[in-house]
Amino acid sequence: MEKPLLKIGVLGSGKGSNLQSIIDNVAAGKIPARIACVISDVTDAYILERARNHGIEAIYLPPGRYKTRLDKEAETKYVKCLKDRGAELVVLAGFMRMLKEDFINAFPNRIINIHPSLLPAFRGLEAWKQALDYGVKHTGCTVHFVELGMDTGPIIMQAVVPVEDDDTPETLHQRIQVEEHKIYPEVIRLIAEKRTELVGRKVRIR
């Protein structure tokens, strides 16, 4: 008997390049999962178009009155939408709003995010530009579980990207995204195969 596929709900606000890498890996049979839906807080976000192009349910849900987070009513609708579609893992793919306690408690240790720096360094927006401005020699990307703090959850996997002398914010971001598209699908595969274990704040991979 075939093992049941992990059902994923994806949240995103922008172009959805990480969604595309996940779709491609699922289609290639590399991830034992199914994308149940893609939800965006932006009506014309290209991530929704990517989903439709692959026959995945694409949903716009209004975020409410705040700029940086969902309001309580919107949060309830997002959680219900995901639960109604059987989502077992929530994947943030460029979702530009903080999730609050009710949302996180609805999916305990089942929400993941990818951030374009080697956390805990350079949290928040445009982390690649922060790294370049600071003058570090290496940066990268981090997949982590989501908790109430901004980019503070337990780290699952990281990839290192060297910073070149002639890098611009655009060239550095592009190289970071190449690594993002490798490690995000890999983490989802490990979770789908039940090979991750959270012990305190440390994530063990079997």
Per residue in 49-101, pLDDT tens? 999 999 999 999 999 999 999 999 999 999 999 999 999 999 999 999 999 99
Mean pLDDT score of the chain: 97
- What pLDDT is stored for residue 1 in this prediction? 55
Residue type, 68: T
Residues 6+ apart with CB under 8 A from 166: none
What percent of the chain shows pLDDT beyond 90? 98
Residue with tokens 């994806």: 10
Q: Tell me, yes or no, whether 31 and 98 share the same domain.
A: yes
Among the candidates 45, 78, 108, a domain finishes at 108
The yes-or-no verdict on residue 199 having pLDDT over 60 is yes
CATH of the domain at 1: 3.40.50.170
Q: Tell me, yes or no, whether 95 and 69 share the same domain.
A: yes
Q: Tell me, yes or no, whether 155 and 201 share the same domain.
A: yes
115 is catalytic: yes
Q: Tell me, yes or no, whether 166 and 77 share the same domain.
A: no
Among the candidates 81, 108, 135, a domain finishes at 108
pTM of the model: 0.96
Report residue 3's pLDDT band, with 50, 70 and 90 as the boundaries: confident
Q: Tell me, yes or no, whether 159 and 185 share the same domain.
A: yes
153 and 145 Cβ atoms separated by less than 8 Å? yes
Put the strands of the sheet holding 155-162 in their side by side order. 58-60, 33-40, 6-12, 89-92, 111-115, 138-145, 155-162
Q: Which of 54, 115, 144, 173 is catalytic?
A: 115
The stretch 127-138 carries a mean pLDDT of: 98
Number of domains in the chain: 2
Q: Tell me, yes or no, whether 31 and 68 share the same domain.
A: yes
- What pLDDT is stored for residue 49 in this prediction? 98
The stretch 4-8 carries a mean pLDDT of: 94
59 and 42 Cβ atoms separated by less than 8 Å? no
The stretch 104-117 carries a mean pLDDT of: 98
The yes-or-no verdict on residue 103 having pLDDT over 80 is yes
- What pLDDT is stored for residue 50 in this prediction? 98
Tokens of 159: 């990839």
pLDDT digits (tens, 9 = 90+) for 158-194: 999 999 999 999 999 999 999 999 999 999 999 999 9
- What pLDDT is stored for residue 4 in this prediction? 84
Domain that holds residue 118: 114-206
pLDDT digits (tens, 9 = 90+) for 7-41: 999 999 999 999 999 999 999 999 999 999 999 99
* φ, ψ dihedrals at 10, nearest 5°: -110, 135
